[in-house]
Amino acid sequence: MEELRGSRSAHTMIFPGFCDVHVHFREPGFSYKETIASGSRAAARGGYTDVCAMPNLNSVPDTPDHLAEEERLIRESGGFCRVHPYGALTMGEKGIEAADLAGMAGRVIAFSDDGKGVQSESMMRSLMETCRRLGRILAAHCEDERLVAGGYIHDGRYARAHGHKGICSESEWGPIARDVRLAKETGCAYHVCHVSCRESVEIIRRAKAEGADVTCETAPHYLLLTEDDLREEGRFRMNPPLRSREDREALIEGLLDGTIDMIATDHAPHSAEEKSRGLAGSAFGIVGLETAFPALYTGLVRTGRMELEELVRLMTEAPRLRFGIPRPAEDWCEWDLEAEYTVDPAEFLSMGKATPFEGRRVYGRCLRTVCAGKETWRAE
């Protein structure tokens, strides 16, 4: 990769600024979990210069007026990274009435109801037709609520052994199968959020072979952890859940063969109290911006599963190419790849501290991040 170059020493590298197309910055409406400013600082510490913020907010950005509130907060956030808002697909993310997609199209990076799956096929078809007409990506949270039925971890060995309610894989791959069919029929540019299971990978692989305009992402925790890593702690509860070893292997294979297009964190902070109720009672979601590259570099590159250049591409070039996000030449991040340390959430700049990587030994420390020529992070 031409942009991947050494700096200062053999183990210090400069990379292009990372890009994450799936974060939750919780403003407006939930600033006790995270603010755009605190989330942006965390992004800069993780080497990110561009992030795309999901719309499950209050007010939901489902009209130009509601979107304006989030845009104001972004302008006032301090410029630690560029924050690109999503617009909601449906009013209030309730799946009943389409949001004002045309009114927001020129001001959002894409449209999504992330956090909620669009349950109605006819509604999804109509939304895809509108997104195609507007030339915008539809990014889908794929979840059949009928099949989830109150589950909160993967419906596998751990759930059965410990008496937990499981979430079956079909609750994810079923909606994906429906949506890729609709995407082929409508010509919509369709993107699948946080893919977690092997059936989803195979459906997307087949859809691409058939010429559908389909891309997808997965997250670091699905590539590095499984249900075997679960503990009776809220920091292991996320949606979709950690799945089986076979699912993880399918995700890695999907990354290596190009079926999975990019890595996103699904950074989803909550308060300490909301994450203190164990697996059964905690809120869904973990933070990821400050651990993504170190965890992946340690778990995939240093173990020989993936080349460093490919990991960097999946976190920089690939998301920018799909979502049309330019990278100025003055965006970059510098990493010490030999720095070894234990992940300690007390050091996070994010207000959220829940991470399944807490206590893990990782390699790779971000020394400096520069966004648009401005230094936004420097390690002490």
Tens digits of residue pLDDT in 106-144: 999 999 999 999 999 999 999 999 999 999 999 999 999
Contact by Cβ (8 Å): 117, 140: yes
**Residue 2: what pLDDT?**
43
**Residue 180: what pLDDT?**
98
Total domains in the chain come to 1
Q: Is residue 335 part of a domain?
A: no
Q: Is residue 287 part of a domain?
A: yes
Q: Is residue 293 part of a domain?
A: yes
What CATH number does the domain containing 176 carry?
Answer: 3.20.20.140
For 285-342, the pLDDT digits (tens) are: 999 999 999 999 999 999 999 999 999 999 999 999 999 999 999 999 999 999 999 9
Mean pLDDT of 73-90: 97
Mean pLDDT of 158-185: 98
What's the chain's average pLDDT? Answer: 96
Tokens representing 178? 């429906």
**Residue 10: what pLDDT?**
61
Mean pLDDT of 221-231: 98
**Residue 342: what pLDDT?**
98
Q: Is residue 10 part of a domain?
A: no
For 182-196, the pLDDT digits (tens) are: 999 999 999 999 999
Question: Is the pLDDT confidence value at 65 over 60?
Answer: yes
Q: Is residue 37 part of a domain?
A: yes
Q: Is residue 2 part of a domain?
A: no
Question: Is the pLDDT confidence value at 369 over 90?
Answer: yes
**Residue 17: what pLDDT?**
98
Q: Is residue 12 part of a domain?
A: no
- In this prediction, residue 9 has a pLDDT band, given cuts at 50, 70 and 90, of low
Catalytic machinery residues: 266
Q: Is residue 13 part of a domain?
A: no
Q: Indicate yes or no: pTM above 0.85.
A: yes
Q: Return d(Cα 302, Cα 246) in angstroms, integer.
A: 21
In which domain, by residue range, is 201 found?
A: 18-327
